[in-house]
Amino acid sequence: MHELVFLKSLVIILGMSAVVVFALHRLKIPSIVGFLLCGMLLGPYGLSFIKELETIQVFAEIGVILLLFTIGLEFSLSRFLKMRLEVFGIGGLYVLITVVMAGLISYQWLKVPGTAIFTGFLVALSSTAIVMKLLSERAELDTPQGRISVGILIFQDLCIVPFMLFIPVMSGGGGIDELIFTFGKAIAIVAIVLLSSRWIVPKLLHQVVHTGSRELFVITILILCFGIAFITSEFGLSLALGAFLAGLMISESEYAHEATSAILPFRDSFNGLFFISVGMLMDISFFINNILPVLSLVSGIILLKSTAGLLSMFLLKRPLRTSIHSSINLAQVGEFSFVLAVAGLAAGVISSEFYQWFLSASVLTMLLSPFLMRLAPVMSDRLSSLKLLKKLERMKELSVTEDFPEKRSGHVIIVGFGLNGRNLARVLKEAGIPYVVLELNTDTIRDMRRRGEPIYYGDGTKSDVLHRLGIEAARILVVVISDPASCRNIVRVARKQNPGLFIIARTRYTAEVDDLFKLGADDVIPEEFETSIEIFSRVLNQYQTPGNVISDFIDMIRKDGYRLLRQAGVATRKHLLDKYAFLSHVDIETFTIHPGSPVLNKSIKELDFRSKTGATIIAIERKTQMHTVVDPEFIFEPGDIVFITGEKDDIGKAVTYLAEGGP
């Protein structure tokens, strides 16, 4: 009977979560928020459909283990080295400032040092799942604010491990000696794990994979995940730490990607249960009775995290507008904060009442995240235009770059010095065309300055920056950055400053094309469509479509603003296919005349090749010399390569004729 009760609860949970997540998906709100709301509705403080939480919490614990395991799998030392400033520099400073600020503020009310520090831990973490999903949907992962946000999120995810280790000390269950002993055990286990990942695990997985059994591979991965988690818990460490270390053991092996794909379905399913269980623990009546203080707490968290983010990024000389944008992206409380909170509640670091305050405020910050991230570009533009902040930005500019170039005319302004910007600069230099480059990455500026590039620090969305680059006298502006919002702003500002300027903008996505044209761009190059053009031109070439026809078609698409590719132009496509339908029946084939061939020492005229096969010989290669005008009196010799064109059936007859002497 108990099994049926649990099954009924599980069906209710999954059914309701599917409905809620689907409804929120239409509003473009992340699924995590849906799971939290579903738990609030179903739990004992909501509609009371689910009253016994013990079994659900067991599955939720499994979800946490699998989540940490996949993070360990995705841990790449080489990746972190490439992003070391964003991850360890900005990320470390952000977490430190947030913990200190939140800890000091909360101590004024709590008067308990351990709980105050733990509050800092809870507030310091942001939602990797929500931010990464929204950045991906908004095509901002490769933008400056996207890279900074991802780097900070990576560092925050890693912080969960040491934060968990501090819980016993903050609960009063141990002193500094116990903390040192705990860290010593953790270091010893990490050392064992690293050695195992180097010598034992790769050999074990190699033997498992060698069997060819997918089931055995998945079972082995799960054994490593839960086995290491169990071992670490037996040594007094957390299950989460063990799961992370288990993922780390596999991450450096060649089977890491396969392990990730095998574990993802389990992780996503159990993670949903984890967030549902968190939502079930939230007391809705508590929230309603304390709605104004909770809203004040939410505002305080968002303001505190935004301030900490702005300080950490600005101190490490990130652009002001990018710093504000990234700070707003990270202004919510993260999913790992729930993991910490549950552990802190169990250890007695926080009380049940504190837990309800935390749940109410953090769930609201998550609910607000999609809306805040949509407003982030506008808010960052307006805030960075404030006089005080502009002065700070100007001071930072003077510390990282020299004065702007002297006034010039007829030059090209390149905004962004990634791969496309560098390639353009190389060509302009070879052609002797003057140009200047605007870039936000200070490391790139210093490196390129040493190489003699006319590159300067500045934000292209600011009219004064473009003015100092001589935008009024420039001939061409080329915008090759990965930030769609900034690209639109640069085009708009540049067009106002110089109505006669020729503006070329690169964009990665089709939705930006019309907006950029409306804002004043003369030419927009969408990478998606240019890739499509390259593909279909090669396909048409394989069908022997005349080169001038392909070129005319490409020119027509580009001049029309890629409208043919963006709209369902059925009539146009039909016309094109009808016009060149004969090409699907035409082919080109080559045939080598071998010694002993029945056509040796015979001419094309003598063989009556055209009338007997229906195909045409268009060229013959003899001893590396190509004869493109073929005389009917041409006599075949061994080694001749014959180029034949015609319909597919006729070419088949021609090959048979040359090989056997008769069609």
Q: Give tens-digit pLDDT for 556-592.
A: 777 666 666 655 444 444 444 444 444 455 567 788 8
- pLDDT computed for residue 549 by the predictor: 65
Rg (CA), the chain: 33
In this structure, what DSSP letter does residue 634 have?
A: P
Average pLDDT over residues 58-62: 69
Lowest mean pLDDT among 52-61, 114-123, 278-287, 394-403: 394-403
Question: Rounded to whole angstroms, how far apart are CA atoms 250 and 237?
Answer: 20
Buried b (16+ CB within 10 A) or exposed e, 137-166: ebbbeebbbbbbbbbbbbbbbbbbbebbbb
Asked if residue 470 has pLDDT above 70, the reply is: yes
- pLDDT computed for residue 577 by the predictor: 44
Domains of the chain: 59-279+294-383 (1.20.1530.20), 401-521 (3.40.50.720), 529-579 (no CATH), 584-660 (3.30.70.1450)
Average pLDDT over residues 63-74: 72
> Would you tell me how many other CB atoms lie within 10 Å of the CB of residue 217?
18
Q: What is the largest CA-CA distance in the chain?
A: 108
**What confidence category does residue 368 fall into, taking pLDDT thresholds of 50, 70 and 90?**
confident
Among residues 431, 472, 429, the alpha carbon closest in space to that of 453 is found at: 429
- pLDDT computed for residue 628 by the predictor: 78
- Strand pairing partners for 86? none
Among residues 282, 260, 449, 256, the alpha carbon closest in space to that of 352 is found at: 282
Average pLDDT over residues 36-47: 80
